[in-house]
Amino acid sequence: MLIRPRDPGFVHPQASDITPRAVYEGRRAWLRRMAGGAAGAALAGWAGREALAQPAPPVKRAALSGTPSAVAGAMTMEKPTGYQDAAGYNNFYEFGIGKDDPARHAHTLKTRPWTVEVEGLVGKPGRFAIEDLLTLAPMEERIYRLRCVEGWSMVIPWVGYSLSALIKRVEPLGSARYVEFVTLADPRQMPGLRSRVLDWPYVEALRLDEAQHPLTLLAFGMYGEVLPHQNGAPVRLVVPWKYGFKSAKSIVKIRFAEKQPGTAWNKAAANEYGFYSNVNPGVDHPRWSQATERRIGEDGLFAKKRKTLLFNGYEAQVGQLYAGMDLQKNY
Ligand code: MTE
């Protein structure tokens, strides 16, 4: 599939168009410094991409210090998708339904000031300013596969920390079983809200144990840089073993609940988009197969489709969460 140019100077990247290794690994060094306690200084630079494009000495592609082993084992060594694809081929319906709409329109999103309200069944509810969230736990780089329900996938180096760090801070009550994520719905900033394609705001939810799993990432950046607006700035979720739509972008509220919350895609078409939405090649979407996927950046006449893996390849890490469950029924 071709991507229409978003501006006259935009050149569609080739499969080989990845961040040069030295620059990429230099960013890793920067991340290590951040993880190592220089967070304040490094965060000040986040506003400017230029600062991050500075060459830095290459470092070994080692697990970042402090990365929990459950996460380190899940890190893919696959080649990351080109930055221009990851930031140019998006689903963010608040900015339009075309794949290049978010990159064209999301500049209107205001990411400061930004707060995330935490409410519901927690001992310590509150409003977190984005600045406080950025320093709540050490930042890590996590290279995850992202598999969209539509049948394409990418490999993206995200920057963030496990959502569990925030969950621990707010002390969920024993009655809390689900976590709901509500995202921004402001018609002045988001032209896509004029369309009734979804029941706004875009809402997603996880079971509490899924939300607490170390792989579930609260992401603030990608490719060593602050998140582009179209990828869900200033803060989003990344749940790598589930179809991409579970990874809510531009989150403004996190609510802990006893009952399973209604979610945007499930409300729109319950028979097509289940609550769990775990990546599963054995459970087809009613209108298409989920057995294979197309890696963005590898299109072309002779590009072979890849086999989709159960839980998107993270079965060893997350399979236990679904022990004894009928995955055909709980799709
Ligand atoms: N979050 C919001 N608020 N609105 C959306 O339309 N789309 C979802 C998810 N999060 C969406 C969203 C879908 S369908 C996918 S596949 C991923 O975001 C895409 O993330 P990416 O554009 O960073 O690859």
Tens of pLDDT along 231-286? 999 999 999 999 999 999 999 999 999 999 999 999 999 999 999 999 999 999 99
Coil, strand or helix: which one is 214? coil
Instruction: Tell me, using a 6 A CB cutoff, whether residue 277 lines ligand 1.
Output: no
Give the ligand 1 atom nearest the CA of 230: 22
Q: Which of 7-11, 69-73, 83-87, 320-324 has the lowest mean pLDDT?
A: 7-11
Using the mean position of ligand 1's atoms as its centre, give its distance from the Cα of residue 58 in Å. Answer: 32
Tens of pLDDT along 54-106? 333 332 223 333 455 567 767 778 999 999 999 999 999 999 999 999 999 99
Cα–Cα distance measured from residue 25 to residue 303, given in angstroms and rounded to the nearest whole number = 28
Task: Calculate the average pLDDT of the chain.
Answer: 84
- What string of DSSP letters covers 256-291? EESSPPP-HHHHH-TTTS-SS-B--TTS-BTTB--S
Using the mean position of ligand 1's atoms as its centre, give its distance from the Cα of residue 128 in Å. Answer: 23
Domain ranges of the chain: 71-322
pLDDT for 46 beyond 60: no
Which band of pLDDT confidence, cut at 50, 70 and 90, is reported for residue 1?
very low
User: What pLDDT is stored for residue 302 in this prediction?
Assistant: 81
Atom 17 (ligand 1) nearest CA: 244
pTM score of the predicted model: 0.83
- Two tokens, residue 215: 């792989």
Per the listing, tokens 């729109």 go with 268
Assign a CATH topology to domain 71-322.
Sulfite Oxidase; Chain A, domain 2 (3.90.420)
Atom 2 (ligand 1) nearest CA: 249
